Amino acid sequence: MSGTFVGMPAFPEAAREAVHDTTLRGNLRHATATIRAKRAKAVAEVADWAALREAGKQIKDHTLRHLDRYLVQLEEAVTAAGGTVHWAADADEANRIVADLVKATGESEVVKVKSMATQETGLNEALEAEGIRAYETDLAELIVQLGKDRPSHILVPAIHRNRGEIRDIFRSEMGEWGRPAPDGLTDTPAALAEAARLHLREKFLRAKVGISGANFMVAETGTLVVVESEGNGRMCLTLPETLISVVGIEKIVPTWRDLEVFLQTLPRSSTAERMNPYTSMWTGTSDVDGAATADGPRTFHLVLLDNGRTDTLADEVGRQALRCIRCSACLNVCPVYERAGGHAYGSVYPGPIGAILSPQLRGTRSEIDASLPYASSLCGACYEVCPVAIDIPEVLVHLRERVVQGGVVTERGAKVLLKPAKGHAAERAAMRAARWAFGRPGALRAGQRLASRTRRFHPRTLPGPGKAWSASRELPPVPAEPFRDWWQRTHGGKDGAK
């Protein structure tokens, strides 16, 4: 992944400020609760939702098992349709390919469709270093870009901003980027959308190069698919002469027919819509008969991005993260995300999916990546809503194991083991003590009575290594009377037998 987030502190430290920011928490609570309720209603309308979910999971698993074959098939289909396919092993290579392609057109500006893959590679920053200005055209991405901010949600990157804050960003920043915000701009949704529309229109008409990602790639036809709600994507995909699409290799599906499943599950899981407002599909630069299309680019480049995906695929438990269709339903139900916000995850992929995807794409060896698998209460709400049934809690536990075994590398390059020996030794000692006590009922009873009698002196928090655990919770109080004594007193008989 790109180095944009290099040096991020571990999740608890990164989240500390966010959890004390009442405006941020209010914005997040309001937005996630609204989307959550709408999604639940949209999903409940579909009688065969469970079957669709299972079908999506099966299609993705089958594709990942035969990824090599389908990628070659895709390359052949795209090439036959007049496109050019490039392979990028990592973020730097992808950025270099894109920058060279833009420079070859002689242009110094590009318009962009919202794309997680190019955020992952840090493409905008890489292009800027080459003297190329990238304009985000998705409304939320525009807000993030104008505010010199970072995205905090997969679907709604500016979810941490309220309307008043957006109006202020437009007022102060739009002038610098071309057309200024209209005088007296209010914070009504219509006024803000109109300001963005006017700001972007001349960029659409002027741009000769468009850059996109894709939600899906169809191996059998070489077709790419972008789903969006605003229509800006359609403009970027059809108006510029050159289109460059940067897409993760896991976004492939074998056949056109497979889209039938995802075009039902994705809109309901993400924006809670029955059908997606704008679904753009393109196949190279020509139609199936080889005749040039009236709309769309004259030159098309597809950059296939690995960037840690084949390593992820090699992990039998962790590979299910590659099924993700980026709907963001797991973010909207996550109690940790709702309180910490997206920035604390130190990646363009926040929330539960970020907690399992980023450490796998980047490795679990930095402080932020080693902490992400712990950024969860393991409540399982993310698994319940995932339209491709990714068992996120299972992967989180699996990654925790990897973190403990592998340790982390600090910013200064020192390797620190996460005290596995100490942690495991303490656990083993506790288990040995429990086995000893449970094997001696008399000693257990004496210990329980002693604990009850001295309960007033017991601490409510743990010292030493247990301190972090009890920082946010109290130990349960010891009862005044042990259970066995209570049972004997109220039911009679030895050890409670009546």
| Residues in contact with ligand SF4 by the rule CB under 6 A | 269, 324-330, 353, 385-388, 390
Angle of helix 259-270 relative to helix 22-44, nearest 10 degrees, comes to 140
Please tell me the chain's helix, strand, coil percentages from 3-state DSSP, rounded to the nearest 5.
55, 10, 35
CB of 21 to ligand SF4, least distance (A): 24
Is the CB of 235 or the CB of 390 nearer to ligand SF4?
Answer: 390
Q: Provide the minimum distance between the beta carbon of 389 and ligand SF4 in the complex, in angstroms, as a whole number.
A: 8
Q: Which amino acid is present at 167? A: R
Candidates 481, 459, 454, 457; CA nearest to 470 is 459
- What is the C-alpha separation between 462 and 445, in angstroms, rounded? 23
CB of 326 to ligand SF4, least distance (A): 5
What minimum distance in Å lies between the beta carbon of 360 and ligand SF4? 13
DSSP string, 233-295: HHHHHHSSSEEEEEEEGGGEES-GGGHHHHHHHHHHHHT--SS-SEEEEEETTB-TTSPBPSS
Nearer to ligand SF4, 248 or 387 (CB): 387
Nearer to ligand SF4 by Cβ, of 203 and 326: the residue is 326
Closer to ligand SF4 by Cβ: residue 325 or 396 = 325
Dihedrals phi, psi of 411, to nearest 5 degrees:
-55, -35
Name the residue nearer to ligand SF4 (CB basis): 35 or 353. Answer: 353
Residue among 387 and 482 whose Cβ is closer to ligand SF4 = 387
Identify whether the C-beta of residue 381 lies closer than 8 Å to the C-beta of residue 39: no
Q: Which is nearer to ligand SF4, 78 or 385 (CB)?
A: 385
Which CB sits closer to ligand SF4, 54 or 93?
Answer: 54
Q: Shortest approach of ligand SF4 to residue 219 CB, angstroms? A: 20
CB of 343 to ligand SF4, least distance (A): 18
Give the C-alpha separation, 239 to 125, whole Å: 24
Residue 39 Cβ vs ligand SF4, minimum distance, rounded to whole Å: 10
Burial class (CB in 10 A: 0-12, 13-18, 19+), 422: exposed
* Rounded-to-integer distance, Cα 81 and Cα 289, Å: 9
**Distance between CA atoms of residues 252 and 68, nearest Å:** 11
Q: Taken in order 200, 205, 209, 212, is the CA torsion positive or negative?
A: positive
Q: What angle do CA 165, 167, 168 make, to 5 degrees?
A: 65
Least separation in angstroms between CB 197 and ligand SF4: 28
CB of 356 to ligand SF4, least distance (A): 8
Report how far residue 367's alpha carbon sits from residue 364's, in angstroms, rounded to the nearest whole number. 8
Nearest distance in Å: CB 322, ligand SF4: 10
Q: Judged by CB, which is closer to ligand SF4: 37, or 104?
A: 37
Q: Yes or no: say if 233 and 113 are a contact pair by the CB < 8 Å rule.
A: yes
Nearer to ligand SF4, 340 or 388 (CB): 388
> Cα(239)–Cα(161) distance, rounded to whole angstroms?
30
Question: Rounded to 5 degrees, what are φ and ψ at 253?
Answer: -125, 150
